[in-house]
Amino acid sequence: MSDNVITSRQNERVKLVYGLQTRPRTRMKERKIALEGARLIDDALSRGFRAEFILYDQRKADYERVAAWQARNIPLFAVSETVMQHISDTQQPQGVIGVFPMPFPPIPKRVTAALLLDGVREPGNMGTILRTAAAAGADVVILSEDCVDPYNPKVLRAGMGAHFRLPIVSAKWHEIAQFVAGMAVYVADSKGTLRYSAADFTRPYVLVIGNEAHGARAALKLEGAQTVAIPMAAASESLNAAMAAAVLLFEAQRQRSQ
């Protein structure tokens, strides 16, 4: 093994990546995130974001990619397999992790399609919802303060680059109420009073997806909030948060495209 390979967990870059992978406080203090996997890294680079550095396991390295990253003058550091396993958030490490500044895509001056997540706690659901919102053309995603950290590594992986395309903001409820004032507020609810296809998504709207177990709670207090339901076959369980978000967001997109 080359003398240049990082083998110590006490290396400063290794400790930073481990903190970004495991501690929300570190992510907020440093204003940085760790992206695991070449696909996520390349996607961020293609959107114009620059990696501060990349750690890679030389035994698993795709050296064409490594050369391409070197050509961009990105600092790269080889690490041992043991170190990569230590800093990876997955059971089967992909062998490469990049550190990037926390992304903050700009919010459009006029928001006409907003998604509000009320207490969504499951990282996989959060990431899938963000990926869907980006694909369906949402202008912004607003998170209540009791949502899971959107920069959690599981959220980042499930989001598949949505964080670099879509403005994501956390807000207090009085701030949310001010932001959505004058917009149609539709709250996903399996017992909703309005069929989802009857909701008018052609006007400026905010769609609310609630907690996986308890649904939306605080959002129901927003002025003019209406509950919308997705009809399902008899005896079917309600859809999970990510599936409901997909159905509703693409219904909104369908209406707006017409």
Helix, strand and coil content of the chain, in percent to the nearest 5, comes to 40, 20, 40
pLDDT (mean) for 135-143:
97
Torsion of the alpha carbons at 159, 163, 165 and 169, rounded to the nearest 10: 120
Q: Taken in order 9, 12, 16, 17, is the CA torsion positive or negative?
A: negative
Q: What is the pLDDT of residues 203-215, one digit of tens each?
A: 999 999 988 767 6
Amino acid at 112: T
Q: What is the pLDDT of residues 108-136, one digit of tens each?
A: 999 999 999 999 999 999 999 999 999 99
* 27-36, 92-101, 173-182, 204-213: least confidently modelled range: 204-213
Domains and CATH numbers, the chain: 12-101 (3.30.1330.30), 113-257 (3.40.1280.10)
Q: Residue 233 above 80 pLDDT?
A: no
Residues counted in the chain: 258
pLDDT (mean) for 77-95:
93
pTM above 0.75, yes or no: yes
pLDDT, position 73: 95
HEC string for 186-248? EEECCCCCEEHHHCCCCCCEEEEEEECCCECCHHHHCCCCEEEECCCCCCCCCCCHHHHHHHH
Q: Residue 78 above 60 pLDDT?
A: yes
Percent pLDDT > 90 in the chain is 81
pLDDT (mean) for 23-41:
96
Alpha carbon distance 199, 256 (integer Å): 12
Amino acid at 251: E
